[in-house]
Amino acid sequence: MTFTNEEGEQEKDNLTYNRQDFWATSNKQINFVQHIRSMLKSTGRAALIVPDNVLFEGGAGEAVRKKLMENTELHTILRLPTGIFYANGIKANVLFFDNRAASPDPWTKEVWYYDYRTNIHHTLKKKPLSSDDLQDFIACFNPENRHQRAETWNEQSNPEGCWRKFSYDQIIARDKTSLDIFWLKDKSLADLDNLSEPDDLVAEIIDNVEAGLACFREIAGSL
């Protein structure tokens, strides 16, 4: 913060602002989630793109996930593929939640997941993400009445279904209340005779390495 002192000279000082509407103070991604939630009206709705660490980070991240499920109806998570952002290696998700008034019981009863990451490959130039690619998700989301949904996943009849729900009790029992849930098998690892194209494999390796470096840079910056 820059201000003018009594002598008319410019001085700088650090400004600390305590957000009383935050559940916990953490990194910018966790704080971003809380900031968006705090801006919503009691009937407000949000669709929020966040990196993977928001789903599994411990400490403040776990506290925020619990509070988010208690105070809002976190009803849908869309797992996005890599290769759709200009920054390489970004693994992101879209959180869909509806704000609610205060209640003694958690508002979130179940969370629906759509896995559009496993076995999906996009690149900005050769295969960019288009609205057509998300039509199946939109159909599963059922925006006309999201309370009338049907899973495409079934352990016996369709174990490769990408649309699945998990109850609040199942999630709250997970280590660190992790929302980082996946169940589909990576076919490129299971079937060595049908690997992806070499340039796709190279791009995915680069994405993973750069994602790891980004995490290490953030950790280094906080030390």
Q: How many domains does the chain have?
A: 1
pTM (global) more than 0.85: no
From start to end of the chain, where are the E strands?
A: 2-4, 10-12, 45-51, 72-79, 92-99, 110-115, 163-167
CATH of the domain at 193: 3.40.50.150
Closest CA to 94 of 109, 75, 66, 120: 75
Residue 161 lies in a domain: yes
User: Dihedral through CA 209, CA 210, CA 212, CA 214, nearest 10?
Assistant: 170
Residue 152 lies in a domain: yes
Range of the domain at 108: 26-222
Residue 14 lies in a domain: no
Residue 4 lies in a domain: no
Is 109 within 8 Å of 102 (Cβ atoms)? no
Could you report the per-residue pLDDT of 64-117, keeping only the tens digit for each? 999 999 999 999 999 999 888 877 778 999 999 999 998 999 999 999 999 999
Residue 52 lies in a domain: yes
27 vs 36, higher pLDDT = 36
